[in-house]
Amino acid sequence: MLGLIETSNLTRKFGDVTAVEDLTLHVGEGEVFGFLGPNGAGKTTTIRMLACLISKTSGEARIGEYEVGNDADVQKIRKIIGLMPDNVGLYEDLSTYRNLDFYGRLYECTEAQRTERIEHFLRMLGLWDVRDRAVRTFSKGMKQKLAIVRALIHEPRVLFLDEPTANLDPEFQKTVRDFILELKHEKRTIFLNTHNLDEAQRICDRIGILNTRLVAVGDPEQLTESLEGRKTVVQLAQVNSAITAAVERRGLRYVVSSGNKLVIDVSDPEKENPGIMEAIVAAGGHIQFITEKHATLEEVYLKLVRDEQ
């Protein structure tokens, strides 16, 4: 996959405090990449460096063909990225439409481009009917949605979203999440900072867990399997020693838990499960159902973050 965001040992210090340390990362074009981490982990600092809002202390970073930290490339980077910061910073006394038109002019969008894009994105987010209302009359959720549209007005190659659903009620969270999924279908490259593990699992192609240093990176399935591997759960009418011995003879580990379940470590359940089922039935077991068990993303996140503390 073509790398649109590349960092190598990217570091930022504030005096004696290291906010981001030796971050080496690759985000492919058209990928939705999620950044998870506790407060103070360096997520917002990372976005601010990549958006050329603050300087890096050391290391390297590139957005497309442009180098972060190269004065000649700063404006070029800002033209190809969109940013929704944690503080939306809209002009409260201007209307929805005038806010977006103002930013479209700053990005040198033509009048036709501004007209088309403003209507397109406002309709997608259900804000078209309030396009003439002053932003100061909006709820926080409406402002969050408007800030995302502002970040998209110039059709950027990369979209940075810093906690886009923070402090929103479930309905607004779903609206914003669905909008991000629409952008994903358009093959946009999205870099998403979030505390919402469910949101990250639903939206992101890959997830990085940051705690000043990059602790882990992978797709959601890889991360959940990394904690305890793959497990087959067999619910039986009754578990007895003959059944567990039959499983044991196949060289597999098992755990007997409450409810007459066998939890069996497997490396390739598609190949191993049929043999396991045959062994259990041959030993007189009555199988009620079989499922696969994964660690949750929350369990992986908490373990990795605690291990780094």
What's the pLDDT tens digit per position in 247-278? 888 887 666 666 788 888 887 888 889 998 99
d(CA 230, CA 266): 6
Instruction: State the amino acid at position 155 in one-letter form.
Output: E
Q: What is the pLDDT of residue 90?
A: 93
Q: Could you name the CATH architecture of 3-224?
A: 3-Layer(aba) Sandwich (3.40)
Contact 49, 243 (CB under 8 A): no
Q: Which two tokens stand for residue 92?
A: 């409260």
Residue 227: which residues within 8 A CB-CB, separation 6 or more?
295, 299, 300, 303
pLDDT at 186 over 90: no
Contact 90, 103 (CB under 8 A): no
Contact 164, 144 (CB under 8 A): yes
The phi and psi torsions of 295 (rounded to 5 degrees) equal -65, 150
Q: Could you name the CATH architecture of 230-293?
A: 2-Layer Sandwich (3.30)
Q: What is the pLDDT of residue 255?
A: 66
C-alpha closest to that of 60 among 14, 25, 16: 25
d(CA 236, CA 277): 11
d(CA 201, CA 263): 24
pTM: 0.80
Contact 114, 101 (CB under 8 A): yes
Which DSSP string corresponds to 62-85?
EETTEETT-GGGHHHHHHHEEEE-
C-alpha closest to that of 32 among 1, 11, 61: 1
Q: What is the pLDDT of residue 89?
A: 87
Q: What is the pLDDT of residue 34?
A: 94
What's the pLDDT tens digit per position in 102-156? 999 999 999 999 999 999 999 988 899 999 999 999 988 889 889 999 999 999 9
- Higher-scoring residue by pLDDT: 102, 299: 102
d(CA 208, CA 278): 40
Helices marked H in the chain: 43-50, 74-80, 96-106, 111-124, 140-152, 170-185, 197-203, 220-228, 241-248, 269-282, 297-308
Element (H, E) at 217: strand 213-218
CB atoms within 10 A of CB 213: 16
The predicted model gives 75-96 an average pLDDT of 92
Residue 35 — very low, low, confident or very high, per pLDDT cuts 50/70/90?
Answer: very high
pLDDT at 302 over 90: no
Beta bridge partners of 190: 32, 159
Q: Where are the domains of the chain?
A: 3-224, 230-293
